[in-house]
Amino acid sequence: MSCKRRCGAQWWHGKVKDCGYRITSGREAIIEALSVTQDHLSAEDVYTRIHDKYPNVGLTTIYRTLDMLVNAGLVFRFDFGDGKSRYELTEGPKGAHHHHHLVCTECKRVIDYTDFIDDELELLRSTEKGLSEKYGFRIDNHLIQFYGTCTDCLAK
Amino acid sequence: MSCKRRCGAQWWHGKVKDCGYRITSGREAIIEALSVTQDHLSAEDVYTRIHDKYPNVGLTTIYRTLDMLVNAGLVFRFDFGDGKSRYELTEGPKGAHHHHHLVCTECKRVIDYTDFIDDELELLRSTEKGLSEKYGFRIDNHLIQFYGTCTDCLAK
DNA sequence: TCCTTAATGGAAACAATTTCCAATAATAAG
DNA sequence: CTTATTATTGGAAATTGTTTCCATTAAGGA
Ligand SMILES: [Mn+2]
Ligand SMILES: [Mn+2]
Ligand SMILES: [Zn+2]
Ligand SMILES: [Zn+2]
C-alpha cells in the first residue's frame, strides 16, 4: 500500500521530493510528531511519541530522517546542553514561525519567544549584510539563545 | 612541590579560589592551552596540546576541569555541530573579549567576529531587558551564531 | 610539617549516535 | 497493473564523546 494511497499530499511533500527523497510512512510519522508539539524533541522523544501508532519505525530511521530533514531545511537541530540533539520544525503547514530561545541553566527549561523579534530583525538584517560583505560568507540562518535563570529557579 | 612554588600567581587564580577550587598544575596547563590559541578546542584537543609538557594530566581531568571552569565562568562551552563540545576562555589576562560566531555548515570552519558588536550590543541590551521583565528570567549570557557557507566553500 | 579532603588517572561504564547489511517498499518504467 | 530499480528500513553491533568509580596523590590550611 503506497503512502499516497494512505494519506493525502502534505505541505512538506514537495520540499522532500525536490531534494530527491521519497515519501515514506516513517517520515510521515516523524513530521507529524514534530508538528503537533511545541516541545523541543530529542530523537528518542520522537520515537516514544510515534511508537504506539507506528511500532515498526525504528530509532535508527528516526536519526536518519531527522538528519535528512535538517539537510532539506525542514527541521532545525538545537543543542541546549543536555547531551542530546533536539529538533524543531522550521515551519508548519501555515508557514514559518521563527523564534529564539531563553534557556534556564538551572532546570534546563527552554522558553520560545517571538516578541522583540521585530526589533531584532532590523539589526539581524544589517548584521548579516555586514558579515556577508566582510567575510564573503553567505548567511542562511542564525541561532540566538539567552542563558540565565528562570522565575521558578530564582525563587529557590 | 606546591603549585605556588612552581609558578607565580596568575590572573585567574582568584576566580578559581573564590569558587572554592584549588590551584593545580593540571588546571594551570589547561588554562594555558586555552589562552595561547584562538581555536575552539575540544577536550581531546586540549589533551593533545598539553600532553608533551604535562604527560601526567589525564583526559578525565581535562573533562572535569573544563566543566569546573564553565561553572566558575572562566570558560564558555560551545556546540558547533560536530558532536563534541568545544571550549573557549571567556576572558584572558587582559580582560574579556566577547565575540560571536560565523559557522560554515559545509566545512565546519568557525570565524570569530567582534565587528558589528557595538550595533548589536544596543539591541541585545534592550532585548535582554524586555525578556527579563516579561518572563522573570535573570539573563547572564547569550549565544549568537550565524550559519552559512564560507568563501572557500562558495567557490566550489 | 601534618592533616584533611579536594583532585587525580586509568579502567570501566555509559549514552547518544552511526555503521552495517540483508530485507523491504517507494517510485519509475513498461 | 506488473516488474525492475534502488532508496529506505530495522535491528544488532560498533563507535565515540563523556561520566563514573575507586584507590592514590597532593593542595593548602593549621
Ligand atoms: Mn523553540
Ligand atoms: Mn570563538
Ligand atoms: Zn529554571
Ligand atoms: Zn566552509
Q: What is the pLDDT of residues B31-60, one digit of tens each?
A: 999 999 999 999 999 999 999 999 999 999
Residue of B nearest to A67 (CA): B81
In this predicted structure, what is the pLDDT of residue B139? 94
Helix, coil or strand: residue A26: helix
How far, in Å, from the CA of B151 to the mean position of ligand 4? 7
Question: CA distances (Å), A103 to each of A17, A96, B70, B93, B140, in order?
Answer: 35, 22, 16, 29, 10
Structural domains of chain B, with CATH:
1-93 (1.10.10.10), 98-156 (3.30.1490.190)
In this predicted structure, what is the pLDDT of residue A94? 84
Q: What is the pLDDT of residues B81-102, one digit of tens each?
A: 999 999 999 988 888 888 999 9
Ligand nearest to the CA of A107: 3
Name the E strands within B81-156. Answer: 85-89, 91-92, 95-96, 100-104, 110-113, 138-149
Q: What is the pLDDT of residues B107-116, one digit of tens each?
A: 889 999 987 6
> 0.85 exceeded by the pTM?
yes
Helix, coil or strand: residue A112: strand
Contacts of B147 in chain A (CB under 8 A): 139-143
Q: Which of A81, A127, A137 sits opposite B148 (nearest CB)?
A: A137
In this predicted structure, what is the pLDDT of residue B74? 95
Which three cell numbers mark A107?
532546570
